Structure 1
């Protein structure tokens, strides 16, 4: 999975970047590794090229350009940008990615996305964390050296002019990520969706803080083990990691924001603030809130509120089940109907089969009696009432599920028409501004017809209200899907119970009918009077 990382540097020491690329460094301490004589050690294998400069005179070329345009003189100015493309470790074995090929891809990427800049492109063959992944470093001077043709990703007119600085925005970063994804897809390399927000966002600072903390904790634990003590903690957690774990734990058990807020404060001492549509968290040992954006999308307002709604739907389903105390103890049985021998043609034709059916009926009757006793049905009326109650619950659950299904279908139609509305809105705007509307309508008849159809549908659904956003409709769809699944699960639960209790009811009827028949057969018959006709 190729990933892209960006580091902005305010250091005016351009030579430090070159030294990092060609000499071995301790990644944890950010210091060069020295040999026995105190000299720096060259990296085992690397590929180095320069764009718009000689690679080994990169520092001098950048400083000369800065002097020429009188830029990058202040301490707070960003002097260089460092982009790192990390390829998946599997690419070297599965997709035959070599260092030379990775360097070619890095040069292609730098030329396409940083035109006019002085740049170093260097490929390393080993990951700093021992993963062995091939990665490409691209270090550019923040000041552009050459005028270049304006590209689609350039947002300002000066972004293609020499003497102006590299301007990284969210849209530009998305373009860089998409460009990398396109290259990986073209080369059949492993790739993830870089455009989707990270579920759990770990910054470089947090990553190295965790590594340093783990090393220090391991050293402390070694001392404790040497003294004969058992370490209480073996895994180091950063402050943000503790917050993530706490939120994950509480969110699973919360059905509303109030539940979430109260439980998080009670169990972990973390305050939650909902401000301007965003969640922020304040641990007990901090004075400044930590925004959900720095933790990842799994901890933001939209994701958590949707999770709370799903939890509430699940809670409602469970509540519906436990209204009957016996429902909480329900275990599906294997009860079957008792076979009526008088209606079974095969049993009437075969004595052996009839005997087998009789034995089976006795087993089913025993299971039925056991079921009735376990569930406390001490009268036929109670059993019948329980069957009626479960049948009503099944019908209600089915009705609720069908109603949710209808609502979901409606929301899907709204999403479809809203997408159609937005996709054709620009054409309709041009139509309104066109000097000859008749010709324009004939040329764009399909688009205009789709726009008018979508607008009419949405106006009918939302009347005079403002049309909702696609994001809101999709969130509503997610909630309805979750609710539908929960309600159908409840329906299937009661359906199974209804089938079971109807079987019990039919078996009880059969047992009672047999008892009546036996009583009738065992009743003594009245003796017929005999008369002596000889008289």
Structure 2
């Protein structure tokens, strides 16, 4: 999904902005990376344009405007605003998002939302820290250069006049977020609702603290392993992330605010504070309380009360169902599954398991206690995981018998067959989406062709074609571009009508919807079978053996 990020910059050195767009920088320190000869290294792929200025003279032209209007002279003034429009990494493969296309979308976004400002628009395709997601940097001078017509999103009269500064309000920010969503919806890109609060609110500061903490922990663990010891902790967590996990764990079973409050206090020594209709949390080793707004929407009063009500209804539903007669248990620990009954050869396994209608269950993975850092730190949590593991093992045995898997090989064959069907469903869906994207392009260019055809005919009939072309250059350019595209798609020069194209689009849309349902069906089926296979390995105690065999085979190869 595309996200929008805003950074207010008080630095008067506009040249640093231009250097960051053009040259490689370290993600942590933000310093320029140099080659062996001490020279700056250009980014491998970037697209850069200037709006109301020359891109390579962005710094000088911004300083001239500031001097003209006598603005941005104090050290504490905001000199520029940096907006980052970051797209989903999957858009590159699934929706053919290129750096050139993203640059065009970034320019469109800047022209529509920052009219009159000097703006530097630059697209990078490498992603943050090599993540590979395409993102667009839009940096505007805080002082507007030109007078423009007042737009609906401008709250003050001076917001459209030259010499006045960019004024970002909550309503303006919501307008920008809505603009991002509209662009992604129009271009068929992945997108979430930016106007709704995030379930987990990870700030810029918390993100970098987590990254740096994980790197330091990895370095420390390497030293411990070099000494022949086993590290006790492999995953670094910030204070807020640990608090999120504690809240989520207690809230998953609590049926009231009292249960939730006592659970946090007894298990994690965390105090819940209810003040002015909002929750905040006090940790024993933290001086200040952490508010629900700092954690995310899933840790506030409204969401948690809904979760408590949901847990209560689920508990009431379980209590109203008749209890099933318990089978004799040969183990000394209650609820421990009988491993000998995982596979029953007395069943008839001639049926095709995939032909049976798949109904998704709530089966979960058995947790590996040896690699669970949280379980090693808390005995109470480890005991809870043990009980949960036994329950999931019992459910796995019931699942295997219910679906009549006679052996582990039979189970793995079903998993591989479902995986193959999922691959075919994904391939078919992508082919349909490619055809639909092609139809959308043809509809776009056919409309563009018909809209400007009259102007082009007038130019052909005009006596002074050169003068007419200069006066209507944009319409003629659009017509010729559309004509070139349609000729490439239709070599026989018989262009399809808008009506036929829309009818074909409707057919492909229906087809894509059905193929998405098929893809989601096999995706969920594969996920469930993967969970079953993993749990069976845990029950039989062969997961470690299988991993060792795989490592040996890799060493041999």
Structure 2 length normalisation: TM-score?
0.56
Alignment of 1:401-412 (within 5 A): none
Instruction: Quote the residue 1:47 is aligned against.
Output: 47
Match of 1:115 in 2: 115
Give distance in 1, aligned partners of 2:272 and 2:140: 41
Structure 2 equivalent of residue 147 of structure 1 = 147
Q: Give secondary structure in 1 for the equivalent of 2:128.
A: coil
Unaligned runs of 5+ in 1: 322-326, 333-535
Larger radius of gyration: 1
Aligned-partner SS, 1:198: coil
SS of the equivalent of 2:195 reads coil
Which residue matches 2:82?
A: 82
Map 1:406-425 → 2, pairs under 5 A? none
* Paired residues for 1:114-513 under 5 Å: 114-318=114-318, 330=325
Distance in 1 between residues matched to 2:4 and 2:165, nearest whole Å: 21
Q: Deviations over 1:39-89 (max 9, x none)?
A: 211111111111111112212222222232232233332221111111222
Q: C-alpha displacement at 1:328, in angstroms?
A: 5.2
Listed one character per residue, the Cα deviations across residues 276-319 of structure 1 (whole Å, up to 9, x for unaligned) are 11111121121111211121111111000111122233334455
- Distance in 2 of aligned mates of 1:60 and 1:266: 61
SS in 2 for 1:61: helix
Q: For 1:75 and 1:243, how far apart are their aligned partners in 2?
A: 38
Which has the higher mean CA deviation after the structures are superposed, 227-236 or 305-314?
305-314
- Provide the aligned C-alpha RMSD in A: 1.8
User: What SS does the aligned partner of 1:29 have?
Assistant: coil
Shift of 1:320: 5.6
Distance between the aligned counterparts of 2:114 and 2:313, measured in 1? 50
1:19 deviates by 0.8
Task: Tell me the alpha carbon deviations over residues 185-216 of structure 1, each in whole angstroms, 9 at most, x when there is no partner.
Answer: 22222222222221111112211211111111
TM-score, scaled relative to structure 1: 0.59
**CA distance in structure 1 between the partners assigned to 2:76 and 2:205 by the alignment:** 20
1:33 aligns with 2:33: yes
Q: C-alpha separation between the residues in 2 aligned to 1:77 and 1:290?
A: 30
Q: What is the distance in 2 between the residues matched to 1:239 and 1:288?
A: 12
Question: C-alpha separation between the residues in 1 aligned to 2:171 and 2:30?
Answer: 31
The whole-number CA distance in structure 2 between the counterparts of 1:297 and 1:216 is 30
Deviation digits for residues 462-490 of structure 1 (CA, Å, limit 9, x no counterpart): xxxxxxxxxxxxxxxxxxxxxxxxxxxxx
SS in 2 for 1:117: coil
Structure 1 position 219, deviation (Å) = 0.4
CA distance in 1: counterparts of 2:243 and 2:291, whole angstroms: 11
Whole-angstrom distance in 2 between the partners of 1:60 and 1:273: 52
Structure 2 residue aligned with 1:2: 2
Distance (whole Å) between structure 2 residues aligned to residue 128 and residue 195 of structure 1: 24
Q: Secondary structure at the match of 1:32?
A: coil
Unmatched 5+ residue regions in structure 2? 328-557
Q: How far, CA to CA, are the matches of 1:184 and 1:320 in structure 2?
A: 47
In structure 2, what is the Cα distance between the partners aligned to 1:69 and 1:276? Answer: 45
Sort the Cα spacing of 1:227 and 1:309 in 2 relative to 1 into closer, same or farther, 3 A.
Answer: same
Per-residue CA deviation, residues 113-158 of structure 1 (Å, 9 max, x unaligned), is 0111111000111102322121111011111111111111111222
Q: CA deviation at 1:232?
A: 0.8
Q: How many residues align?
A: 327
The answer for the alignment partner of 1:11 in structure 2 is 11
Counterpart CA distance in 2 for 1:302 and 1:95 is 36
Distance 1:20 1:293 in 2: 32
Q: Do the aligned partners of residues 11 and 313 (structure 1) sit closer, same or farther apart at CA in structure 2, a change above 3 Å counting?
A: same
Shift in CA distance, 94/264, structure 1 to aligned 2, threshold 3 Å: same
Structure 2: how far apart are the matches of 1:111 and 1:143? 16
